[in-house]
Structure 1
Amino acid sequence: MNVPFQGPPGIDHPILVPHPREAVFDSYDERVPLDGPVWHLNDPGHNFRLDWTALEFTHRGMVEATADYLIDLITSSSASHVQNAFRALKRLKTLGAFRRWSHPTIRLGNRPDLLQTFFYEAREAAKLSVGELHHLQHWFRFLSKREGSGVNPTSASIVNAITVGGNPKGVAVLTRDPTGGPLDDAETTALLQALRAAQEADSVPIDRLALVWLCVILGPNPRMISLMRDEDFEDENGHAQIAVPRIKGKDRLVRTKFKIRKLDAHSAGIMKRLVATNRAARQAVPWEDEAFGHALFHRTTPDPAKVGRPRHAYAMHRTPKEIGRLITQTVLALKVVSPRTGKVLRAGPRRFRYTFATRLLREGASKRVVAELLDHRDEQTVRAYVNLRGDVVEKLDAATARELAPMAQAFLGTLVGSEAEALRGGTRASRIFGSSTAPESGVGTCGSFAFCGLAAPTACYTCVRFQPWLDGPHERILDTLLKGREERRARRLDGRMITMLDNTILAVADVVMRCEEVKRARSERKDDAA
């Protein structure tokens, strides 16, 4: 069971692995074999494995005591927690103090005990994370209670007394980090518009579209998404809902507890299409095993690490990491430009979760409600969001709107020279008016053949079907919207009330600038012709 290790010249320190042991049952109540150099953990979303050779331990007592420590975690904690503890132990071999103890250049009769100096190095010089330090602290204390483990009990008491502290919470939220914090209203609205446009054009695969949409409306953890199945979506008698698997707490089994979330008609339509697409794909090319769960966001081929193992039913589920990667890639593919940074928007599950929480709190939801919707066990994690000030609203005037408009990409329609050039231009019912129904108040044409029910003309400027006319009174509408915003700001209304039409303002400003550019180009052509 020993693996050769090349130490200093003339000195051989073989890497050791634990002696074979009886299998144990983990916190999911599933069997974990412990008879080889690699222990495979049971987790529906990840392929966690503990490769003992990666630790490069050379002390028999430490190896066996560490095995006891990890077995204790396996039977009482989640697989992810065990994996994180093991990763922290792998960092030991990077520490000079531990390497000198584990692979001494001079072979002595009895190796002295490991002292606390390795922990000082881990904290000060190696800059291990707070989580890793906590894991090493617990491991060192556990081993100090095992005779022959190679750990000095006095040193363990010293390490145990060290205050490691915790990671600062909510920094990205509180600092309004434009790349890692919550999306602002303009970014969120622009993203939603891009999603709707992609849906209309069918330019994004339905599973990716649904992934980002769920992140926006539910703020889920990617692990929740990875566990979802087609059966979790229900739409009966016009009441659509989705059951979100719980992942918090000490539930021994996965997919046994759910949070029911109601869906609006648009969201239900997306989910209905996704489930139908999944069903059609399975009928066209049946899966190799009927025991595979019908993952809502499934893989193309079974995960070999799960096939034939306790998590066999999850072989077609994507891992949380794969889910997160798909979300990030999809957002990038939409090419939404952030007005704050001037760059293509980048967002993953964490940013959407931040956005979901801050939006709820700004709209008056209590900490308890937010914790419940985020599936947090308590309200402590939500506290960082509460301190986010929602009344800080930047001034937006015509000049600023013109500057931000090209970056915001809020206007999704098509500029036309006149009503006659528009799709459905000959249909009077498709005409969009501004302040009145007088002919001179016409701003554009609606290219939709169905009734939408949105408030015209403000909602039209951010609609992919809208066709504004070149000579429409767009500047007048922009001026009206800006004046209304300034009045709300002067009345010190809530920040969301002030900024609720900012994306529309940017869309109108974009149309105004496009009209000016076309008119300028036409004028230049006339001058050249003269």
Structure 2
Amino acid sequence: MTNPNKSLVIGTGSITSRDGYRFEPTASHWKLSRDRTISLQWVFGVLSSTLAESLVKILTHYAIRYSADHTSNLCDRFRAFVIWVHNQKGMVDRITSSDLISYRHTLDRKNEWYLGSIRGFLKVWAELDLPGVDADVPSLFDGWRLKGNVKGWAVQTQSPTRGALTDLEYQALQEKLLEGFERDEIDLADYMLATLFCATGRRPAQLADLKGGDLIEARSSDGLREFVLNVPRRKVRGGGWRAEFKAVALTPEIGMAVRGLIAENEARLRTLRSDVRGEVLKRLPLFPAWKVIQEVFLNEGDTLSELMATDAAHLTTAVMSLRLERTVAAQSVISERTDGPIRVFPTRLRRTLATRAAREGYGPLIIAELLDHADDQNARVYTENVPEHVDAINEAMARQLAPLAQAFAGVLVRSERD
């Protein structure tokens, strides 16, 4: 099979990223998606002109083929490495095995994944025959076994601030959100944003990518309404924006509320352009960036239609996360574990959904499906750390350690029964 990385793809002049954003390779900043802009300002004074030129070519190659997040992460990790080399030796003109070995010695085991991230990057660099990487670098990486990024720590330790919510915390969160909505302290958009994070466990980028037309409504044989949300997939290798979807079933209550939000969005759009209808409405984001839309509402309908075909009218993932955190923080949901307000963020709700599924007895394959993972590798942390199992271990350890605790407290222990 031909390795797709062995053909250099950069083009000339203005380049279009995989997410459809145009950028100039010679510019110091590249906007690759609505969420990601990478800076190459740091290159000047750190890399030689030859190495800098090769870096621009390889990053352009990645920006065309891969996601903006992936390209940005590779750039960040490579920058950390070469800046370290620059601090040791001055201007960097080549990537050498000796520098990689020295850099590895500065990393502890939990940070070895820094090198793991750029391993593939530098091997592709060498395969493309771009100058700047010594010939023995790929074989050096082939001989290394690097630790991957540590995952699942917050779940494994049952962190009260970053791990899954307990049943009581989750119930309190749901009650406070509903109370806030009923008192008009939370508007429909923010209420549905928080509700969909809880119900679907999807990443912020996935919910931000949703459009009104992604809600599917049907009638079952007994006449009941059924709702399905076609959620765009992310982190799919080689997949473009909204190229793949995964259906997520919604309860009738949530489905009706989503439909209400869609109607509210359409009504607001019509206040800007009364003649908007049809396909444009279907492509209106579920969580629109209204400022962007308002900037074009005076233009012809074709301009608005073109806008709806891109991700420019969608909120950024950072805004989605911030709105969730602010919505929950305003309701002061108290944790029984910390006696303080619960901090809620999207990843924590993903962990909560998966942990609750594990408590119900679902295996890693089902949990991976719930989280929209490509495999069950990362889902196993939930089934291996079901709190009920941990409680049993904690109880057994407590019995063993109780005499020691009493001794340190100055209590005389007369027998093992004490």
Please tell me the residue identity of whatever aligns with 1:239.
E
- 2:339 is aligned with 1:342: yes
Deviations, residues 74-119 of structure 1 (Å, cap 9, x unaligned): 3432221111111223324541x32454438xxxxxx7x5434543
Deviations, residues 110-145 of structure 1 (Å, cap 9, x unaligned): x7x543454345444477955532233334444456
Higher relative contact order, structure no. (Cα contacts within 8 Å, ≥ 6 residues apart): 2
Correspondent of 1:36 among 26, 38, 42: 26
Residues 328 and 121 (structure 1), Cα distance of their counterparts in 2 relative to 1, 3 Å cut: farther
Deviation, 1:379, is 1.0
Deviations, residues 305-342 of structure 1 (Å, cap 9, x unaligned): 99999997222211111111111111111111000111
**Root mean square deviation of aligned Cα:** 3.6
Correspondent of 2:264 among 274, 277, 289: 277
- Paired position in structure 2 for 1:49: 37
How many angstroms apart in 2 are the aligned matches of 1:153 and 1:393? 50
Identity of aligned residues (%): 22
- Show the 5 A alignment for 1:274-423: 274-286=261-273, 293-302=283-292, 313-391=310-388
Please tell me the residue identity of whatever aligns with 1:197.
E
Give the number of aligned pairs: 366
How many angstroms apart in 2 are the aligned matches of 1:279 and 1:159? 54
Residues 174 and 282 (structure 1), Cα distance of their counterparts in 2 relative to 1, 3 Å cut: same
Correspondent of 1:86 among 75, 99, 115: 75
Deviation, 1:284, is 2.3
Contact residue 98 and residue 118 of structure 1 kept, 8 A: no
Please tell me the residue identity of whatever aligns with 1:70.
L
- Paired position in structure 1 for 2:251: 264
Deviations, residues 382-402 of structure 1 (Å, cap 9, x unaligned): 11011123425979xxxxxxx
Moved more, 298-307 or 352-361: 298-307
Moved more, 317-326 or 55-64: 55-64
Residues 42 and 98 (structure 1), Cα distance of their counterparts in 2 relative to 1, 3 Å cut: closer
Contact residue 21 and residue 34 of structure 1 kept, 8 A: no
Contact residue 245 and residue 259 of structure 1 kept, 8 A: yes
Deviation, 1:72, is 3.1
Deviation, 1:287, is 9.9
- 2:237 is aligned with 1:246: no
Deviation, 1:32, is 4.8
How many angstroms apart in 2 are the aligned matches of 1:135 and 1:165? 11
Q: Which runs of 5+ in 1 are unaligned?
A: 1-18, 105-110, 396-530
- Show the 5 A alignment for 1:204-243: 204-237=186-219, 238-243=225-230
Deviations, residues 391-426 of structure 1 (Å, cap 9, x unaligned): 25979xxxxxxxxxxxxxxxxxxxxxxxxxxxxxxx
Indicate the structure (1 or 2) with the bigger Cα radius of gyration: 1
Deviation, 1:228, is 0.6
How many angstroms apart in 1 are the aligned matches of 2:343 and 2:336? 12
Give the secondary structure class of the aligned counterpart of 1:54.
helix
Deviations, residues 213-268 of structure 1 (Å, cap 9, x unaligned): 11111111111111011222234442222221112423533223222222223212
Moved more, 340-349 or 284-293: 284-293
Correspondent of 2:173 among 171, 188, 191: 191
Contact residue 23 and residue 30 of structure 2 kept, 8 A: yes
Please tell me the residue identity of whatever aligns with 1:199.
F
How many angstroms apart in 1 are the aligned matches of 2:362 and 2:40? 48
Residues 22 and 327 (structure 1), Cα distance of their counterparts in 2 relative to 1, 3 Å cut: same
How many angstroms apart in 2 are the aligned matches of 1:310 and 1:21? 26
Deviation, 1:283, is 2.1
Question: Could you tell me the TM-score, scaled by structure 2's length?
Answer: 0.76
- Paired position in structure 1 for 2:91: 103
